[in-house]
């Protein structure tokens, strides 16, 4: 029993670590797709048509936005964001991930550097920095870990309260 | 096979509906606890010490706040909010819930009416309205559905974009 127990435990622990790494990679792929303005790759990071349709299964809240639900609304929102963004780069910090069965909850801080409209053609508009905290929920599917829900919101407080202790 | 199939299907469908109702009730209990300023009931709505400790397992983002992680930080944040809130009432709209196995994803709009410090003792301060969208993630536990993650953010856009289509 002891021998079996250890081997089962080792295997479970190795599988948990593989899950965690796979979720982190899926999360990274989402932000790289956004940086590259690759709408197809963004769509591919989300639950596919097997698990979500135009009304259900994909839930997205961009900073300051209402809830978007279903693949059509979510994809359309990214099209709008990409159309208004010349340049965007994400520096992710505080990435934390917990896997429970076929669900993974990941939170991160998106330190965003982005540029909007340029004043002259071919030029880059002024770059602005922003800080957003995101809760990203992934589901295990036959195609890998896919985004079920994304909720991003601007950080407006200093966060000193939580550091006091 | 046909008879069995129908009975199994009926049972699965009834169980799914019971799950959904139980999640809606757990969500309602959270907001009632907040309205009543009942910190113990708020804590009871969240994952208990079996599933979360002071560093892991409970993740909370209040509107404009950074990510809080672990039961200690989450409880402390509610203590702060309650200490600064004389009166708060939530009118929940757009409540949508999807249960997948032992995980449930619920989104809602919190139409909040709240009052802060009163100018005179025994009086209620001026009431202010606010609109927050929340993503609430629940896990099935032996004690019922418990909150794993809450992410609330202010709605700053009109939301007209999504209604255009």
pLDDT digits (tens, 9 = 90+) for B29-38: 999 999 999 9
Mean of pLDDT values over A9-34: 94
Considering only CB atoms, which residues of chain A are within 8 Å of chain B? 56-57, 59, 61, 63-69, 73, 76-77, 80, 94, 96, 98, 100-103, 105, 107, 109, 133, 135, 137, 139, 148-149, 151-157, 159, 161-162, 165
Contacts of B147 in chain A (CB under 8 A): none
A52: nearest CA partner in chain B: B98
- Give the E-state strand segments of A10-102 in sequence order: 59-61, 68-69, 87-100
pLDDT value for A82: 93
B68-69 and A127-141 beta bridge pairing: unpaired
Please tell me the distance from the alpha carbon of residue B75 to that of residue B54, in angstroms, as a whole number: 10
- Cβ burial of A83 (10 Å; 0-12, 13-18, 19+) is exposed
- The CA-to-CA distance between both ends of chain B, in Å, stands at 45
- Report the 10 Å Cβ neighbour count for B120: 7
pLDDT value for A122: 65
Residue of A50, A53, A65, A67 to mutate for B, most B C-beta atoms under 10 A: A67
Contacts of B80 in chain A (CB under 8 A): 161
pLDDT digits (tens, 9 = 90+) for A109-157: 999 999 866 666 666 667 888 999 999 999 999 999 999 999 999 998 7
Mean of pLDDT values over A70-74: 95
Contacts of A149 in chain B (CB under 8 A): 105, 135, 137
Contacts of A63 in chain B (CB under 8 A): 153, 156
pLDDT value for A78: 97
SS3 B16: helix
Asked if B107 and A59 come within 8 Å (Cβ–Cβ), the reply is yes
Residue A51's alpha-carbon distances to A17, A43, A99, B108, B110, in angstroms, are 25, 13, 19, 21, 27
Asked if B139 and A100 come within 8 Å (Cβ–Cβ), the reply is yes
SS3 B28: helix
Q: ipTM score of the complex?
A: 0.87
Single pTM value for the model:
0.88
- Cβ burial of B9 (10 Å; 0-12, 13-18, 19+) is exposed
Q: How far is CA B155 from the centre of its chain?
A: 17
Mean pLDDT taken over chain A: 88
Q: State the smallest CA–CA distance between residue B66 and chain A in angstroms.
A: 6
Number of H helices, E strands in chain B: 4, 6
Mean of pLDDT values over B7-14: 84
- Report the 10 Å Cβ neighbour count for B17: 11
The values of phi and psi at residue B26, to 5°, are: -65, -40
């Amino acid at each position: 029993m002891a021998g079996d127990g250890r081997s089962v435990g080792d295997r479970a622990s190795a599988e948990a670590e593989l899950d965690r790494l796979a979720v982190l990679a899926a999360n990274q792929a989402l932000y790289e797709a956004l940086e590259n303005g690759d709408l197809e790759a963004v769509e591919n990071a989300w639950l596919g048509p097997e698990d979500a349709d135009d009304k259900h299964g994909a839930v997205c809240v961009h900073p300051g936005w209402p809830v978007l639900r279903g693949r059509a609304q979510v994809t359309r929102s990214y099209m709008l964001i990409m159309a208004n963004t010349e340049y965007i780069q994400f520096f992710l910090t505080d990435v934390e991930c917990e896997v429970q069965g076929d669900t993974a909850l990941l939170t991160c801080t998106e330190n965003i550097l982005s540029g909007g409209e340029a004043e002259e053609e071919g030029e880059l508009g002024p770059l602005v920095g922003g800080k957003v905290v995101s809760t990203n929920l992934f589901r295990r599917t036959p195609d890998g870990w896919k985004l079920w829900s994304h909720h991003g919101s601007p950080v407006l407080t200093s966060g000193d309260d939580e550091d006091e202790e």
